[in-house]
A and B are shown apart, each in its own frame.
Chain A
Amino acid sequence: MDKILTGVAASSGKAQGKVKIVKGIEDSLSFKEGYVLVTKITDPTMVVMMGRAVAIVCDVGGITSHPAIVSREMGIPCVVATKEATTKLADEMLILVDGDKGEVYLL
């Protein structure tokens, strides 16, 4: 298990799943239940996908940014401010998101 990203722990818990890089609403149909939503920063067009995600990882963000707030409400782990999640990760990679430590591991 290799640590691939470090960021800010925004919502506690651990979850593993396959990566889906999300650019916007155009990814809604292809975003499957149980995937990890990886994006620069979430916005309201992504709420449907956020509801299906097991975890969220963002390039930017703070503990009161949009992805952090909704992740805590939904009880799923979230790591923000990783800087390079959308470049280091790719679709279908299997990862573990540690929302307590603010770390992402490649499985």
Chain B
Amino acid sequence: MKILYPQWIDEYAKATHAGFLHMVPVSWGPIDAMALIGFLNGSFLAKLSEAVERIKAQKIPTEKVAQCFPSPSSLYCALYYTALEYQYCNPKNKEHYREIIEFLTEVLRYLRKKDTFSYESNIVHTHAEVSKILYATPWAQGNFTLAKELGKLYTILSGLVEALYGDFFPQESNEAYGPYDASEKFGENTILVTKHFPKIRPVELWPEMKELKYSDIKILQVYHNVKFTCELIGRHSLWEGDVINNLVAYAIMLNGKFQNQNKTEDIRALVNYFTKITTKRSLVYENLSKEERKKKVLEWLCYQFVYLFQLGGMDWRPTQQMVEAVKGKDVQDRFEQESPPSLEEYTTNPEYEVYWLKDLYTNV
């Protein structure tokens, strides 16, 4: 049978299905964002469609559009959520949505040098860029204690990100890149993995975050005899080998500048600073009503494209149509899904977005 839809849909489906198998969506909150997106009925897609039209009219190059996204994983999830909204739209505007999805996938292909949907890696840097990182970074030597402290720093930052973006949008501010071959600088069987926390001071979402000292943090780590893979999004890191005893070197970049975090106490100071903030932030949702949580999901949804909307000369915030679309709709606090479907069912059943992505091309 002749396949009429683009090959990327199969790649997308394979990676997305594998990714969902190892997550626990039933624990995601502070409200079921997936269900909420299902009620939007094209109101967010209309806003996004306008941005795409404006950017195309201005002939802005893909390279510049790509800079609007903090990471490829952010863009992948944004793409997934648009597909989810489209799945539930009635009626469906195929032409408009096909334009959006083709625009987004083109940018994603530009960002990821291979493995577009991050089935097992998150490669965004070229060999020359990796080489530059390896030689220009002021590395500090790793050891057991420092590796433990870096692990705590990652954990506390990861917690802050989840407090700021909930369980559905942490990829906005938490990405791991790699694995990159580091042998030219550090010898055989060494890899570089970079953990990036962009957009960690989202004052547009949480004005009180303006007090945070840092807006962008990177932890660069070189390991020996360790294997790194990731699933679907960079932060879904999987390791084989001892990441504590096999840390060869590391560096920390705060607000775009490398720090001299060579001492355990320096990293502990960072951990302590973020611990207080993370603990306080993680309690915010307890005081939000259901309607306020819905509003926050709409803001998160739009905030994925904040710089894209700016590029198109538009306000990034949710439209009144979006707010009206979800007002009074009954949505649970946690995502509800029993067991994940088989790959066959996921790719052929109209209850899942892949069917509708294929439908964009097969039933025209």
Contacts and interface: CB of A to CB of B under 8 A. Distances in A.
Nearest to A80: B24
A51 B23 CA distance: 22
B279 A64 contact: no
Given A69-B237, A70-B154, A75 B147 contact: yes
A64 B238 contact: yes
Contact of A73 (B155, B271, B279, B281): B155
> Which of A41, A47, A65 has the most B CB atoms < 10 Å from its CB?
A47
B236 A44 contact: no
A78 to B, nearest CB: 12
A70 B278 CA distance: 15
Q: Is the interface of B mostly helix, strand, loop or mixed?
A: helix
A48 B361 CA distance: 49
Contacts of A75: 147-148, 151, 242-244
Interface stretch (A14-22, A55-63, A82-90): A55-63
Interface string B34-65: 00000000000000000000000000000000
A65 B25 CA distance: 9
Contacts of B26: 60
A32 interface: no
A75 B144 CA distance: 10
Interface string B270-305: 010001001101110000000000000000000000
Interface size class of B (residues with CB under 8 A): 35 or more
B150 to A, nearest CB: 8
Interface string B152-196: 101110111011000000000000000000000000000000000
Contact of B278 (A41, A47, A65, A69): A47
Interface string A16-35: 00000000010010000000
B283 A74 contact: no
A66 interface: yes
Q: Contact residue range for chain A?
A: 20 to 34
Contact of A74 (B21, B148, B275, B278): B148
Contacts, number: 90
A62 B239 contact: no
A60 B24 contact: yes
A96 interface: no
B2 interface: no
A43 interface: yes
A11 to B, nearest CB: 8
Contacts of A61: 24
Contacts of B231: 64
A28 B154 CA distance: 19
B161 to A, nearest CB: 8
Interface in B234-275: 235-239, 242-244, 271, 275
B225 to A, nearest CB: 14
A50 interface: yes
B22 interface: yes
A69 B148 contact: no
A22 B21 CA distance: 26
Task: Point out which of A28, A43, A63, A66 has the most chain B C-beta atoms below 10 A from its C-beta.
Answer: A66
A63 B22 contact: yes
Contacts of B279: 25, 28, 45, 47-48
B243 A72 contact: yes
Contact of A69 (B158, B242, B244): B158
Contacts of A62: 21-24
B155 to A, nearest CB: 4
Given A62-B24, A64-B23, A73-B151, A44 B242 contact: no
Contacts of B156: 47, 51
A71 B172 CA distance: 21
B160 A41 contact: no
B231 to A, nearest CB: 5
Given A41-B24, A44-B278, A74-B148, 4 more contacts: A43-B282, A44-B159, A64-B231, A65-B23
7 contacts: A41-B27, A47-B275, A64-B238, A69-B158, A72-B243, A73-B150, A74-B155
Interface of A: 25, 28, 41, 43-45, 47-48, 50-51, 60-66, 69-70, 72-75
Interface of B: 19, 21-24, 26-27, 147-148, 150-152, 154-156, 158-160, 162-163, 231-232, 235-239, 242-244, 271, 275, 278-279, 281-283
